[in-house]
Structure formats: structure tokens, C-alpha cells
Amino acid sequence: MGHPLKGTAKKTTTPKDPVCGKRIKRQRAHIAINYKGATYYLCCPLCQAEFEQHPDKYALRDRG
């Protein structure tokens, strides 16, 4: 209950860097990482390294 429907709309959304929480445009992202079927955009090498070290910590956040 009280669970908003999110991510069902086929709208172009700006992806969010799961590590630092910044919104990044796809074409401006440092790298896109595919993890468990989802694509994550990281803004810089530091965020990439952090994500790769703890992918589950960050991957679960937005997927609930």
C-alpha cells in the first residue's frame, strides 16, 4: 500500500547516478554499467569504482 507506480511510463527520463545521486544525461555519463539487466549511469571513475565494489548496495535502491 502507498506504493507509487514508478518507472512504468515510457517517458525519456534523465538517468541518475546511483552512487552520488546526481542526474546525468546519457551521452554525458562517464560510463554505463549493465547490472542484473538494468543499466546504471555513472558520472565519473570514482562513482564507477564505488559501484563496482558494492553493486548490490546501489543497484537495489531505485528498483525497490
Judged by CB under 5 A, the stretch of 1-9, 10-18, 31-39, 48-56 that binds Zn ion is 10-18
Residue 58 in the binding site for Zn ion (CB under 5 A): no
Scan for cell 542484473, then name that residue: 36
Residue 17 in the binding site for Zn ion (CB under 5 A): yes
Residue 20 in the binding site for Zn ion (CB under 5 A): yes
Residue 33 in the binding site for Zn ion (CB under 5 A): no
Residue 29 in the binding site for Zn ion (CB under 5 A): no
Q: DSSP secondary structure string, 13-62?
A: ---B-TTT--B--GGG-SEEEEETTEEEEESSHHHHHHHHHSHHHHHTTT
Q: How far apart are CA 4 and CA 26, in angstroms?
A: 25
Contacts with Zn ion, residue ranges (CB under 5 A): 17, 19-20, 43, 47
